[in-house]
Amino acid sequence: MPIDIDTCIAFVERELSPKRFKHSLGVMQIMGELATVYALDKTTAILCGILHDVAKEFSLDRQLELAEKNNLLLSMEYDDYPLFLHGPIGACYIAKELGITDPMTLDAISRHSYFDNGVTVSPTLCWCLRFADILEPSRDWQDIKMQLRPLVYSRNVKEAAYQMMEWLIPFHESMSLPVHPNMHRVFHELSILIDEKTLDGIGSIPV
C-alpha cells in the first residue's frame, strides 16, 4: 500500500517541536530537489527527508528501550548517544507506526546519523539525506552551505562528502559533541580516495 506523504507530515508534526518540524520540512524540500539531480525515486527521497528526525527528540531512556525491543546492537563507542542513535531508532519507529518496509528508506534514515557500518542499500540516497540535513533552508551554516551546494548539485559527491566531513568533525568538537567512530572512518576513507584521485561511481563512496 502506498505511503501517503500528508499522513507522514502530520505524523512527524505530532512527534517534533516546531523548530525540528520546520527543519524536517526543509530537508524534505531539498530531498525533492536532489531526487531529480540524482535520478532517485522522488517519493522515497521526500519520505526520507520528512521522516529522518522523527526520533530526534525521544528521551535517551525511550531510545534505549526501543533499541532493546528491536534487538538493535549497540556495539561501538557512542552508539548509545541520542545524537547517533536517533537514526536507527527512527527507522524502527516508522516501520512499526507507519508500516514502512522499503529497505532504501529505512537504511538511509538509519545511517544519516552515522550509526552502523555494514553494507549500504543505497549510498546515493544516504549521502543525499546527509547533504540535505546540512543544506536545508533553516540551517544557519552559510559558509559550509556555500561550499557544499555547488558540489552536491553538480553530482560531485566524493568532493562534497569530503568537504562536509572535513567541516562536520571539527564542528562537533567545537560544540563539545562526541564524534562517532564511523565519522572518523568515513572521513579517513574519503581522504584516501581524494588523495589517490580514485573513485568510480557514486556507489563506491564510503558510508
What ranges in 102-156 are assigned the alpha helix state H? 103-111, 123-135, 142-153
| Residue 45 CB contacts under 8 Å (≥ 6 apart), including other chains | 31, 32, 34, 35, 125, 128
Per-residue pLDDT tens digits for 151-193: 999 999 999 999 999 999 999 999 999 999 999 999 999 998 8
pLDDT of residue 3: 82
DSSP letter string over 82-97?
A: HHHHHHHHHHHHHHHH
| Domain 5-204 indexed as CATH 1.10.1370.40 | no
pLDDT of residue 85: 98
CA 184 to chain CA centroid, Å, is 16
pLDDT of residue 118: 76
Compute the distance between CA of residue 43 and CA of residue 48 in angstroms, rounded to an integer.
9
Q: Which of 118, 104, 111 is CA-nearest to residue 35?
A: 104
Name the maximum alpha-carbon separation found in the chain: 47
The residue extents of the domains of the chain are: 5-204
C-alpha cell at 190: 574519503
User: ∠ CA 19-34-104 to the nearest 5 degrees?
Assistant: 85
Compute the distance between CA of residue 85 and CA of residue 39 in angstroms, rounded to an integer.
29
One digit per residue, pLDDT tens: the chain, 207 residues? 568 899 999 999 999 999 999 999 999 999 999 999 999 999 999 999 999 999 999 999 999 999 999 999 999 999 999 999 999 999 999 999 999 999 999 999 999 999 987 778 899 999 999 999 999 999 999 999 999 999 999 999 999 999 999 999 999 999 999 999 999 999 999 998 887 765 555 656 888
